[in-house]
Chain A
Amino acid sequence: DVKVTQSSRYLVKRTGEKVFLECVQDMDHENMFWYRQDPGLGLRLIYFSYDVKMKEKGDIPEGYSVSREKKERFSLILESASTNQTSMYLCASRSNYGYTFGSGTRLTVV
């Protein structure tokens, strides 16, 4: 069965910390995505990558960066976490047959 794995289900970090959210897929997909989900705002695209070392900004990239050094791994980086980045973060990968989603990481910044 195809899988997208996010390394943490729950994270609590302090304001100003550097935070890494990891996402790994085992399907050899070229396209990977990071979204955040907030009540009333739904799912919004932060960044996506269509190949190793390639990245594109989504709708809300401010305060985030990404890294794609290997095809299977797409990392979301919060350089200096802030309380407004408290959210559910979802990773996804895509093939011609559709999207596969991870289980999500609920990040709380205190």
Chain B
Amino acid sequence: AQKVTQAQTEISVVEKEDVTLDCVYETRDTTYYLFWYKQPPSGELVFLIRRNSFDEQNEISGRYSWNFQKSTSSFNFTITASQVVDSAVYFCALSEAPTRYGGATNKLIFGTGTLLAVQP
């Protein structure tokens, strides 16, 4: 069965601190996708990144970076120099990789989320 674990329920940091959000997943699939979504207080789900299971290269986008380690089934998310606007709930999610002909369900299995509070 597929499962995503975000052990950190809440994290509080002071602005400009770096913060890492942990994500551990379980799956029997050999190919799969991993995602991070942000949910600000307004409630919408904002897509941040998708990572394919056979691409273990780490990715950096501005102040955001992601560390994918297949050996430990982890896909951690780091925010550098955090800002108050980063305050939100962050969700890690897993889906089976879509087939070439569209047969996969691609439903997302979400973790329980981590509430990040960045204090000024």
- A, B co-complexed: no
Query: Chain B residues in contact with chain A, CB under 8 A?
Result: none
